[in-house]
Structure 1
Amino acid sequence: MQFALSPEQRALQAHMFTVAEHLQDESLHARDRACDFSRPLWQTLCAAGLHMLPASRDQGGQGLGALDLALALEALGEAVPDTGLVFALAAHLCACIHPLVHCADGPQQTEWLQQIGQRAWLGAHAITEPQAGSDISAMRTRAVRDGGGYRISGHKCYISNAPVCDFVIVHARTGESGSFLDYSSFILDRHSSGIHISPSPKEKLGLRTTAMGDIEFDGVWVHESQRLGKEGSGGPIFQASMAWERCCLFALYLGTMKRQLRACWAHLERREQFGRPLIEQQALAHRLGEMQLRYESARLLCLRAAWSLDHQSDWHGDASLSAKLAVSEAAVRNGMDAVHLHGALGMLSGEVERELRNALPCTVFSGGTEVLRNQLVQQLRSEYRRDARGGR
């Protein structure tokens, strides 16, 4: 196995660190308290072309695959203190740009990717509903045939980027067969007649600088040309986007954990108790060692899963399940340990407690921990049964 990054990948991460120098914001603490997404910082990201990374160079991007995108987001997560901003970018790339690059036809890519690239548009991915989260079969939003298009009606909630988005990828029910092919995906301009988006972002525990809101579709008419793929292909499109999200988006938490570890090492070296640095207190040093082990283990699983997506490898099934579980659990536990290692300082409002708050939601979105563990067990059960039939 080759674990070393290529020269191109090292250059990509170096470029991310260079862009990050322009994303340092002294008002972050105040914006976090106010749940304020920074449009000027988003414009800075777009000026560097980061909002189009998976698109081809002809389309204004860099043609990044899953592994390279994960490495880019890892670097941004490490270098940019505004984790909510990086999360907004990652959600846009994995759940909005990815389906356009991989599922849209030529005319759709020409129309939409050109606008997104040139006008610095931000996307929102609308699938969750009040009664339908991980259970897609409970989706009630419908797209009904109407002339040369569809009428979409329904309510989507907890949608990242919704209050500040420029376009929406929405999933709606187009069939009633009870199968995975009952759903279709559409792309809409947020200003389309009948779209109502909550103007104020929801106040959240963490990722407060990522705007979250609800979207109401009140008989919104969309032309057939706004459907991504064939009718009934929404389920596979969503599944593919989630695989990218569970690898690439969660790579940003690898970066935040690395930055967090660096801060903890510095604090334990600098802070003295009982006449010696905290790092010489074995119990605290061991806790820091456990944080490093969680980070390293999660990173290996995450980058392996991204590599599997690029190579269409089904090694051990859907590797993104293990990656998401490992990274999300490590981010939360490391965040709690970082607070503990900083003592009373960790309890104060600031970077240490903010990163814990930013980590807590990641065990819920992109598939809750319990749901993904069930899926992982089902996947392993199928594999072991297949191995048993093969005599292995």
Structure 2
Amino acid sequence: MDFSLNAQQAAIQRGIAGIAAELADSQLTQRDLAAAFSRPLWQVLHRHGFSSLFVDTERGGLGYGALDAALALEALGQHCQDTGLVFALSAHLCACLHPLLKYGKPAQLERWLPRVMQGQIGAHAVTEVEAGSDVFAMQTQAKKEGPGYVINGSKCYITNAPVADFLLVHARTGPGQGYFDFSTFILPADAPGVSISTVPHEKLGLRTAAMGDIRFEHVWVPEEDRIGAEGSGGPIFQVSMEWERTCLFALYLGVMQRQLELCVTRSELRQQFGQAISAYQAVSHKLVDMSLRLESARLAIYKSAWLLDQGRPDSACAAMAKLLVSDAAMQNGLAAVQIHGAQGILCGEIERQLRNAMPASVFSGTTEVLKNNLARQLRSAVSIRQASSQ
């Protein structure tokens, strides 16, 4: 095993560190309180190619695979304090752009990729009030009519919805609620019959990533805007989740790296009872635990990304990586607040890091649901091994 980065990967991280000043925003605290997404900062990311980083170089993109993308998003998480912005970018990349590139037909790529290359933003419309973790319970329907489909229904809590230029929509096309009973469509956000909430939801964390609701009323979508075959929504959704649980969660690695460095510095500078608080074991052990959680999560993300690049996607590995990252982000966030004391609970970067970490246990599959799935896979694997040894 070689755990070192190659020259290209090291250059990715150096390059992002080089644009850190362009991503700085003195109004971040105010925007966070106002739940305001920043188009100007999105345009900075777009100008440097990050909104199209999965697009191959022949089409003008960066041509990144999973590991390169994870490294890039990790570096953005470290050098851009607007974690909501990086989250919005990651959702656009993993849940909209990647499925389009993987499953889109040549004519669809010719039509939609120029929009991505112009900096347009995508939103992944899948969640409904009664179809979150139980995604197959979705009620939004796409009824076949002539050379296309008519979509009716609603979606909620959709990242990027209030600022989206195009939507990737999952809707039922089959009679049941099974794996092959829904399909995936791509359409403009301003298509007739599409209504998107204009005021973003106010959230505990990730407030600068706009989140809203979408309603579809007799929305006509031509058959050529269906991604993949009819009934292939299940596989498309599963793949997008594997990429999201791997690449998107890499951004938290960068946040935790910056957070750890802030905590080490704080512990050296803060004096109590005649010495730096880093001299106290209670504080120094917190720092070590933060580092252990970060490194464990980083290895899990890198392994999952490597498997994706090898064409060997592993849903269990991606789920474990997501669980490790979300738990580490919350635990490290709590430790950072404790190390910073009163300064940690004041409105600012440290308390914002904790708030931004907390949603990670809910989106892309809740901690409880992923553990249930992993438990079933574990039991199945043990049963297979036992049967084969008899």
TM-score, normalization: structure 2? 0.98
Q: Which residue of 2 aligns with 1:8?
A: 8
Q: C-alpha displacement at 1:178, in angstroms?
A: 4.0
Query: Which residue in 2 is equivalent to 1:324?
Result: 322
Correspondence 1:172-191 to 2 at 5 A:
172-191=171-190
Q: Confirm or deny: 8 A CA contact 2:242 2:313 kept in the other structure.
A: no
Q: CA-atom RMSD, angstroms?
A: 1.1
Residue 58 of structure 1 corresponds to 58
Match of residue 151 from structure 2: 152
Given that 2:304 and 2:313 are in contact with CA atoms closer than 8 Å, whether structure 1 keeps it comes out as no
Q: Say whether residues 1:117 and 2:117 are aligned partners.
A: yes
| In structure 2, distance between residues paired with 1:369 and 1:164 | 28
Shift of residue 77 of structure 1? 0.2
Aligned-residue offset at 1:386:
1.6
Q: Structure 2: how far apart are the matches of 1:44 and 1:314?
A: 32
**For the Cα contact (< 8 Å) 1:19–1:45, is it kept in 2?**
no
1:1-392 to structure 2, matched below 5 A, reads 1-118=1-118, 120-313=119-312, 318-391=316-389
Matches of 1:27 and 1:314, distance apart in 2: 40
The Cα of 1:13 is off from its aligned counterpart by 1.3
Q: Give the whole-Å Cα distance in 1 for the aligned partners of 2:283 and 2:214.
A: 46
* Secondary structure of the structure 2 residue equivalent to 1:218: strand
- SS of the residue 2:379 aligns to: helix
Q: Percent identity?
A: 54
Alignment deviations for residues 185-232 of structure 1 (CA, whole Å, 9 cap, x no partner): 000101100000000101111000000000001110000010000000
Q: Give CA deviations for 1:155-176 in whole Å, capped at 9, x if unaligned.
A: 1000000001100000000001
After TM superposition, the score normalised by the length of structure 1 is: 0.98
Distance in 2 of aligned mates of 1:163 and 1:178: 28
Alpha-carbon distance, 1:390 to partner = 2.1
**What does the per-residue CA deviation read over 1:351-385, in whole Å, with 9 as the maximum and x for residues that have no partner?**
00000000000000000000000011111111111
Deviations 1:256-294 (A, max 9, x none): 000000000000000010100000001111111111100
Distance in 2 of aligned mates of 1:236 and 1:352:
39
Q: SS of 1:359's equivalent?
A: helix
Specify the SS of the correspondent of 1:345: helix
Q: Give the secondary structure class of the aligned counterpart of 2:101.
A: helix
Q: 8 Å contact 2:140–2:152 — kept in the other structure?
A: yes
Residues of 1 paired with 2:90 and 2:164: CA distance?
A: 14
Aligned partners of 1:357 and 1:150: how far apart in 2? 40
How far apart are 1:12 and its partner, in Å? 1.2
Q: CA deviation at 1:314?
A: 5.6
Q: Distance in 1 between matches of 2:177 and 2:337?
A: 47
SS at match of 1:367: coil
- Would you say the 8 A contact 2:151–2:219 is kept in 1? yes
Q: Is the 8 A contact 1:91 1:249 kept in 2?
A: yes
Deviations 1:4-38 (A, max 9, x none): 00001001111222233211000101100100000
Q: Aligned to 1:113, what secondary structure does the other structure show?
A: helix
Structure 1: distance between partners of 2:319 and 2:58? 33
* Moved segments of 4+, more than 4 Å: none
Task: Provide the C-alpha distance between the structure 2 equivalents of 1:21 and 1:381, rounded to a whole number of angstroms.
Answer: 49
Gaps of at least 5 residues in structure 2 are none
Unmatched 5+ stretches in structure 1: none
Letter in 2 for 1:164: V
Q: CA deviation at 1:44?
A: 1.1
Figure out how many residues of one structure are paired with residues of the other and give that number.
390
Letter matched to residue 18 of structure 2: T
Distance, in Å, in 2 between the alignment partners of 1:47 and 1:117 is 10
